[in-house]
Structure 1
Amino acid sequence: MEHVVTCFVRNRGELLLARRSDDAGTYPGRWAGVSGYVESDPQNPESDAWRELREETGLDGSAVELVRAGETVDVEGREGAEPPFVVHPFLFESSSRTVTASDELAAVEWADPTVIRERRTVPRLWETWRRVAPTVDTVREDRTHGSAWISARALEVLRDAACEADDWETVAAVGRELRDARPGMAAVANRVNRVFSTASRDPESVDTAAVFALLAAFDADDEAARTAVRRLRDASADTVATLSRSGTVTTALCELDPTHVVVSESRPEREGVTVAETVARETDARVTLTTEAALPAALASRDVDAALVGADAVDPDGSVVNKTGTRALALAAREAGVPVYVVAARDKIRPTGDGGVGDEESPREAVYDGRAEIAVYCPTFERVPAADVDGFATEDGLLDAESVASVAAEHAENAAWDEEVGGTSGERR
């Protein structure tokens, strides 16, 4: 039996779909992902996936990152026409939409994945997508990405579930799971709540609202980064410090292109290394990677002009929940007279202040893998008081604590969509 790879390339929540040439040997004229035969070991077809991406689209490792490989899909084929084959699905994230299509492709298009269900495609393409698509577990278990990235995945899960569902309650149940999956990350719940507060009580409406919310989320995160850039430029901040991994902070730093960036690697999982590498690759800035323990000293020795951090949540009183180490940075910055700015879309503001900091911790072995009876305490998040923050860079500009409280009230209204819904029928009491 033949083996093929199908590569789904994602950018801003949309997939790169390709229509096969009318002269293709199998399934001519049909829509597919980027696909081709496995020429190496079928037990390890990743190299074939990368090869097909390069040959069919011109995309390579400079713009594309492998997210995951999925379980295979068996396709029976058609007797006398196409033979049976095994599909190996892959999902890639691309920072670019610039594609150079090969002659084997009649057309390429960036589109919402749900259009797969409406088009004439190669067999079982939707099922193949679902093998690598994000799930509730993706949202719940991801410990690598920031909350902006994870909240986008939550909206994708909701969109796909609504596309498949026959009734509103099925979709609502998924929404509740997503809303509660990451209590420390306000954007996840806020963005899910907005979908349900604006949609009608039917799956198609939720699907449409989720697609709109996903596009709006990317725009909001980008505009928040631009607000941060404007504030830092106004402050003539040539040397900026940050810590851990925040996609919005990284975007802001790359656009700012400062003279010097100091990045704390963020122990124990060292997420900040990726930020340092990205800024070094994408800008002309001199990049210094340091530890959390040395970051306060670096504020003085490197003449830091401003600190820029992300947020997993902002409470109505303006206090910030973010990766452990943020408070030490804020305290050291205050002592050194360095302003601290939080860059976060409005959706990271919680509707209430009772969410806490969550109980997530790094794995024990990430801190200590020896045999002694040693307890490990390594929480993922901590709270930074509002008094230690000089401003919140959002898509609506630089906010103060009073404005944060107003946004929280808006989110509280959106969260009310589920308050009066009970039972399995979804009827209001």
Structure 2
Amino acid sequence: MDERAVVTAFLRTEGDVLLLKRSDDVGSYQGHWAGVAGHVEDHDGPDGAVRAEIRDETGIDPTTCTLVRRGESFRVEDSDLGVRWTVHPYLFECPTRAVELDREHTKSEWTSPTAVFRRDTVLDLDVSYDRVRPTVETVTNDHEHGSAYLSVRALEVLRDEAALLATDSDLRRSDDIFAVARELVDARPPMVVLANRIAQVIDAAGTDPAAVEQEVIEGIDRALSADTQAASALQSWVGEARVATLSRSGTVVRGVVECDPDAVLVSESCPGREGVAVAEEFASEIPTTVTSDAAFPGQLAAWGADVLVVGADALLPDGAVRNKVGTRPAAAVATDLDIPVAVATAADKIAPTATDETEPRPPEELYDGPAAIDVVNPTFERTPAELIDCYVTDRGELATSDIESLAADFVECRQSLDRPEHSN
């Protein structure tokens, strides 16, 4: 049997992936749906092959795509063709939906990846996707991205598992979609937005897999739209100002870039130092300065900040903000200097109840020596409402009374996660 190595790449944007319909000009699987695919032997290994195929088959510059996951390769035999394929699967985040097809394909479509479980595809395309798709474990172990990003990844896990159950696929990892929902919520307990968005799905769809799949697809669209709207609403606060920020908030990053301020000051944001990566994102379009966490509050005056803009891991019912450590001292100094403090976030981050989850990080990040030293290494801290000037959300600017009212709504919605018998 002929042995051939191939790559299969899924390009993802806004929760959808790109599927391509193969033309009659290709040597196999004509008329079938596939990801971006090609032979490894034509290039310098799988990593080189997959990037070359992205460029050749879609016209998208592969350097603009971010590798999310390289899945474990697998073998599959096609006795009709007399070929044993070794498939190397990949998942990339893609910044555009603009595709220029080559002669190997007749059609492209951005769609929910659950389509691979139902369409006429190349051999084992569903297995390729299964090797790179988000899982409870990837959500649990991702300490680089913010809660809004991870809430979308969690919704994708729920969507995929629901589709696998609805199609009775052998690739399913659970026979109980409610258990999957609970596992996702329990994976990152402090992440209010993740729990709220999962709860909204179960509250609306019950536990019927097909209904859950469709509700999640719509929920992902709502989540992405909410973050976009909150980012756009920053315009009145940022404008052409000199903006200070810390940590990594997708909403803040997008909003600041859209507003095109005069300059940006970014705290490095330990632990994790994700502020450095945020500064790199800003630097290509905006004059950017990065400083240490210790220096950041003092630099608000020395650098000349006009506004401090932060995201939120959660908005508590009394208007307090739970966010990355360093937010409270920065907000306190800004308030003392009469520098406005704006919180930009989706309303789905409103917590049903007041909690002070700090999500401790590994103590060895601070100290791993022999002395008997207690280590406190929290990820989050609470910033009281009196240090916040405005809450900019997808539902407009909220008053503390609005936050309290919405928190009560989420209390009711969250009850769906405590009723496994819930159905519509």
- Cα deviations across residues 307-341 of structure 1 (Å, max 9, x unaligned)? 11111111111111111111111111111111111
- Cα deviations across residues 35-58 of structure 1 (Å, max 9, x unaligned)? 11113799x622221121122112
The equivalent residue for 2:171 is none
Of the candidates 254, 278, 282, which is equivalent to residue 279 of structure 1?
282
Secondary structure at the aligned position of 1:332 is classed as helix
The answer (yes or no) to whether the contact 1:63–1:96 under 8 Å persists in 2 is: no
Of the candidates 233, 240, 244, which is equivalent to residue 241 of structure 1?
244
Alpha carbon RMSD of aligned pairs, Å?
Answer: 2.0
Instruction: Give the 3 Å change call, closer, same or farther, for CA 296–229 of structure 1 in structure 2.
Output: same
- Cα deviations across residues 103-162 of structure 1 (Å, max 9, x unaligned)? 222211101111112211001111210110000111111100011100000100000011
The equivalent residue for 1:3 is 5
Q: Which moved more, 1:153-162 or 1:44-53?
A: 44-53
Q: TM-score, length-normalised on structure 1?
A: 0.92
What is the deviation of 1:68?
1.0
Structure 2 residue runs without a partner (length 5+): 169-173
The equivalent residue for 2:211 is 205
Structure 1 residue runs without a partner (length 5+): none
- Structure 1 segment 16-415 matched on structure 2, within 5 A: 16-39=18-41, 45-79=46-80, 81=81, 83-165=83-165, 170-233=176-239, 238-281=241-284, 283=285, 285-353=286-354, 355-361=355-361, 363-368=362-367, 374-415=373-414
Instruction: Give the 3 Å change call, closer, same or farther, for CA 366–289 of structure 1 in structure 2.
Output: same
Q: Distance in 2 between matches of 1:201 and 1:144?
A: 31
One-letter identity of the residue aligned with 1:187: V
- Cα deviations across residues 385-411 of structure 1 (Å, max 9, x unaligned)? 111111111111111211111111111
One-letter identity of the residue aligned with 1:300: A
Q: Distance in 1 between matches of 2:122 and 2:96?
A: 25
Q: Distance in 2 between matches of 1:53 and 1:371?
A: 51
One-letter identity of the residue aligned with 1:161: E
Secondary structure at the aligned position of 1:214 is classed as helix
Q: TM-score, length-normalised on structure 2?
A: 0.93
Secondary structure at the aligned position of 1:39 is classed as helix
Q: Distance in 2 between matches of 1:257 and 1:39?
A: 45
The answer (yes or no) to whether the contact 1:183–1:358 under 8 Å persists in 2 is: no
- Cα deviations across residues 343-362 of structure 1 (Å, max 9, x unaligned)? 11011001111x3224331x
Instruction: Give the 3 Å change call, closer, same or farther, for CA 52–372 of structure 1 in structure 2.
Output: farther
- Cα deviations across residues 60-108 of structure 1 (Å, max 9, x unaligned)? 34431001101112211133x2511011111100121122222222211
Instruction: Give the 3 Å change call, closer, same or farther, for CA 200–419 of structure 1 in structure 2.
Output: closer
Instruction: Give the 3 Å change call, closer, same or farther, for CA 128–57 of structure 1 in structure 2.
Output: same
Q: Distance in 1 between matches of 2:19 and 2:369?
A: 49
- Cα deviations across residues 356-378 of structure 1 (Å, max 9, x unaligned)? 224331x3443346566554322
Secondary structure at the aligned position of 1:302 is classed as helix
Secondary structure at the aligned position of 1:84 is classed as strand
The answer (yes or no) to whether the contact 2:43–2:49 under 8 Å persists in 1 is: no
Q: Distance in 2 between matches of 1:136 and 1:96?
A: 27
Q: Distance in 1 between matches of 2:422 and 2:203?
A: 15
The equivalent residue for 1:14 is 16
The answer (yes or no) to whether the contact 1:20–1:28 under 8 Å persists in 2 is: yes
The answer (yes or no) to whether the contact 1:26–1:82 under 8 Å persists in 2 is: no
The answer (yes or no) to whether the contact 1:4–1:86 under 8 Å persists in 2 is: yes
